[in-house]
Amino acid sequence: MRFHTEYLTFKTEQHRQYINITGKVANALRSSGIRDGMILVSAMHITAGVWVNDAEDGLLEDIDDWLEKLAPFRRDYRHHHTGETNGDSHLKSLLVHHQVIVPVTEGKLDFGPWQQIYYAEFDGQRSKRVIIKVMGE
């Protein structure tokens, strides 16, 4: 089994932002030369996430509204007693999770017809990383 690792770095312009990274993940897969296996995509920060879903603007807005409803910004999170102001960002990250694993078949991401990989930033405007680890033959 072979392994290939790459890192993406993001410094978003907005505090909360969703970025389609499917092309960057596919590029890492091509660079790896791996034809059959798995690819792990993982946010390396506790206020960010990675998910697989449809690449449709209306759905992204619906997801954003849903996350804000479930984990709204508030000033009274206990976490804020530490001097931080991003309690909601931690909760949003828990809701979307921090990583995904995608099958690799014949050198391609083995997706359903509409699936794409998104990086979700919940406490942005500073540098953060995502690891891409390709495993296989």
Query: What residue ranges do the domains of the chain occupy?
Result: 2-136
Q: Which whole-number Å values give the CA distances from 122 to 102, 105, 130, in the listed order? A: 23, 32, 14
Q: What angle do CA 69, 15, 95 make, to 5 degrees?
A: 40
Please give the pLDDT value at position 37.
98
Please give the pLDDT value at position 20.
98
Distance of CA 59 to the CA centre of its chain: 16
Please give the pLDDT value at position 14.
95
Please give the pLDDT value at position 19.
97
pLDDT, tens only, 118-135: 999 999 999 999 999 999
pLDDT, tens only, 68-116: 999 999 989 999 999 998 999 999 999 999 999 999 999 999 999 999 9
The first and second tokens of residue 55, run together, are 């690449």
Which one, of 59, 63, 38, 61, lies nearest residue 49 by Cα?
A: 63
2-136 belongs to which homologous superfamily?
A: YjbQ-like (2.60.120.460)
Please give the pLDDT value at position 93.
97
Residues in Cβ contact with 126 at an 8 Å cutoff, skipping those fewer than 6 apart: 11
